[in-house]
């Protein structure tokens, strides 16, 4: 079993829709959770960085962590065509150490 | 302004011919990383430098080497590229160990 599982999609939604992207993980030691956005032919760009359980909001983006279910989500409100990209989740166990565990990414297309 | 810059963006080399990929950063971050990312796969950490200290991942092939001559620059050397080394190579930096990573736009390597 992979440490981090992410549905690759592709996911297509109409402009203005609420998008929900999800990752599950198997290791309860994960404490730090990240979401990256990766446009085609570009490097990943950090969108959200959260610690432990709870919600974090930044503009149209909300990151949600449910440690009891080992499940994290990224919600995008009022989705725009410019949100079309691959979204990667990543997580790590503690504040030290450089082992980041990435999901394989979910491809999202927002249709005008 | 680009903060993690990778050159070239596209590199074509012949099977077995050494190749060097370059990364520079303007963030003055202590840690620099090299990842390999194949199509629809999660980025795979090859190695990282914390300042001048080199840290190799256990499963990184000996074919892959790295140099960090100063804080700003880091190089990935592939001594004898095989067809399986064709991938996107991503450079990333972080302020310190365990901090979120900032990625460059990658170098897409093709092997003829």
Domain assignments of chain A as residue spans, ordered by start: 4-111
Confidence of residue A9 (pLDDT cuts 50, 70, 90): confident
Asked if B106's CB is within 8 angstroms of A96's CB, the reply is: no
- Mean pLDDT of the B28-33 span: 95
- Full 3-state SS string of chain A: CCCEEECCCCEEEECCCCEEEEEEECCCCCCEEEEEEECCCCCCEEEEEEECCEEEEECCEEEEEECCCCEEEEEECCCCHHHCEEEEEEEECCCCCCCCEECCCEEEEEEC
What proportion of chain A, given as a percentage, has pLDDT over 70?
96
Q: What is the pLDDT of residue A52?
A: 81
Can you list the domains of chain B with their CATH numbers? 4-105 (2.60.40.10)
Tell the burial category of B105 from Cβ atoms under 10 Å away from its Cβ (0-12, 13-18, 19+). Answer: buried
pLDDT at residue A14 in the model: 97
Is the pLDDT at B87 greater than 70? The verdict is yes
Cβ contact B100–A96 (<8 Å): no
Instruction: Quickly state the pLDDT bin for A93 (edges 50, 70, 90).
Output: confident
Q: What would the two tokens of residue A81 be?
A: 């065509």
Rounded to an integer, the average pLDDT of B4-23 is: 95
Report the pLDDT value the prediction gives residue A86, as an integer from 0 to 100: 95
More confident residue, A88 or A93: A88
Q: CA B6 to CA A108: how far, in whole Å?
A: 26
Whether pLDDT at A98 is above 90? no
Residue B2 has pLDDT above 80, yes or no: no
Q: Is the pLDDT of residue A96 over 70?
A: no
- Region A88-105: mean pLDDT is 84
Both tokens assigned to B40: 């629809």
Q: Residue B99 has what pLDDT?
A: 86
Please report the pLDDT score of residue A2 as a whole number.
76
CATH superfamily of A4-111: Immunoglobulins (2.60.40.10)
Cα separation, A2 vs B109, whole angstroms: 26
Across A77-105, average pLDDT: 89
Residues of B in contact with A97 (CB under 8 A): 97-98
Tell me: the pLDDT tens digits for A62-88?
999 999 999 999 999 999 999 999 999
pLDDT at A4 over 90: yes
**How far is the alpha carbon of B61 from chain A, nearest alpha carbon, in Å?**
18
Are the beta carbons of A105 and B42 separated by less than 8 Å? yes
CA distance A96 to chain B (A): 5
Mean of pLDDT values over B92-107: 91
Residue percentage of chain A with pLDDT more than 90: 76
Pick from B41, B50, B100: CB nearest A49:
B100
Residues 3-62 of A with CB under 8 A from B: 4, 8, 32, 34, 36, 41-46, 49
């Amino acid at each position: 079993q992979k440490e981090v599982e992410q549905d690759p999609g592709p996911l297509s939604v109409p402009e203005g829709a609420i998008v929900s992207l999800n990752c599950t993980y198997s290791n309860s030691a994960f404490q730090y959770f990240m979401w990256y956005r990766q446009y085609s032919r570009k490097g990943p760009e950090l969108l959200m960085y959260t610690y432990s359980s709870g919600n974090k909001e930044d503009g149209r983006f909300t990151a949600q962590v449910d440690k009891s279910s080992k499940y994290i989500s990224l919600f995008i409100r009022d989705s725009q065509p410019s949100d079309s990209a691959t979204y990667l989740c990543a997580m790590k166990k503690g504040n030290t150490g450089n082992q980041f565990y990435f999901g394989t990414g979910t491809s999202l297309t927002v249709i005008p | 302004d680009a903060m993690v810059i990778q050159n070239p963006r596209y590199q074509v080399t012949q099977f077995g011919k050494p190749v060097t990929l370059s990364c520079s950063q303007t963030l003055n971050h202590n840690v620099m990383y090299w990842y390999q990312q194949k199509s629809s796969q999660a980025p795979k950490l090859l190695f990282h430098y914390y300042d001048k200290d080199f840290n190799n991942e256990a499963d990184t092939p000996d074919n892959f080497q790295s140099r960090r001559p100063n804080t700003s620059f880091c190089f990935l050397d592939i001594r004898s590229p095989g067809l399986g080394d064709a991938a996107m190579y991503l450079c990333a930096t972080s302020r310190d160990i365990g901090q979120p990573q900032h990625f460059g736009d990658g170098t897409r390597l093709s092997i003829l």
